[in-house]
Amino acid sequence: MTEILDLPGGVPRGPGGTGLAHGDAEGAGAPLPDLRMRPWVPTDTTELLAAFGDPAIRHYSKTVVDTAADASQFVRIRAQAWSERTGASWAITSDRGTVLGHVGIHVVDRALDSAIIGYWLLPRARGHGVAARAVRAGTTFAFRQLMLHRIELAHAVENAASCRVAERAGYLYEGTLRDAMRYTGERWSTEHLHARLVTDIDMATDA
């Protein structure tokens, strides 16, 4: 069972992007036969505006994309993080290039080689195990290419689907953090903290 990130030289490919090896049991029954991951690009404005028009994505975001300028900033910040090796973010797409969602690694502390992973899917892509596959692929990339030791994943306690994504991607539950996040609307959120270490057995693929 494999999820292979094929990123020569550690550099995410351009449009057409990163292949997620597929055909394994994860996402069984998914009508999405293949997935790609590629960097966000300036021409993704429409997709980003559509994504942040979705109430669930807005509900669990710290910042939102409401204008073309916001979308440009979203792309610019992630391109800069990549060029500085302080992060890696991808648009998850179908094999036809339809944008399905986002997964991103934000390196928090280079002294500790630790980072945070985040993700969301457009409504059309939900319910087929796509997020867990993308999180696993991004995690593999981060351990191998960003040389991270620990990656944290936090989600609102009531977000059961996200909790399951964390488990499916091998992120162990470590505890509950009170008011550890403030989402849009200045809304405090109590969060489940999950994390994966580079030294962990790959629960996602070895289970």
Indicate the residue among 79 and 157 with the shorter CB distance to ligand COA. 157
Q: Which is nearer to ligand COA, 150 or 194 (CB)?
A: 194
SS3 172: strand
Of 37, 91, 130, 169, the residue at the interface with ligand COA (CB under 6 A) is 130
Out of 21, 49, 50, 56, the only residue in the binding site for ligand COA (CB under 6 A) is: 56
Q: Is 12 or 129 the residue whose CB approaches ligand COA more closely?
A: 129
By three-state DSSP, how is residue 40 classified?
A: coil
Q: Provide the CA 95 distance to its chain's centre, in angstroms.
A: 18
In the complex, the smallest distance separating the C-beta of residue 43 from ligand COA, rounded to whole angstroms, is: 22
Amino acid letter for position 55: P
Three-state secondary structure readout of 105-146 = EEEEECCCCEEEEEEEECHHHCCCCHHHHHHHHHHHHHHHHC
Query: Is 90 an interacting residue with respect to ligand COA (CB under 6 A)?
Result: no
Site string for ligand COA, 7-46 (x = CB under 6 A): ----------------------------------------
**E strands of the chain, at which residues?**
18-20, 35-38, 87-94, 99-109, 114-121, 150-156, 172-183, 187-197
- Which positions from 159 through 188 interact with ligand COA, judged by CB under 6 A? 159-162, 164-165, 168
> What is the closest distance, in whole angstroms, from the C-beta atom of residue 100 to ligand COA in the complex?
9
Which tokens go with 78? 């992630």
Closest by alpha carbon to 144, among 198, 107, 203, 106?
Answer: 198
Q: Which stretch binds ligand COA (CB under 6 A): 7-15, 66-74, 107-115, 124-132?
A: 124-132
142-162: burial string, b at 16+ Cβ within 10 Å, e else:
bbebbebebbbbbbbeebeeb
Please give the residue ranges that form the binding site for ligand COA (CB under 6 A): 56-57, 60, 119-121, 126-131, 155, 159-162, 164-165, 168
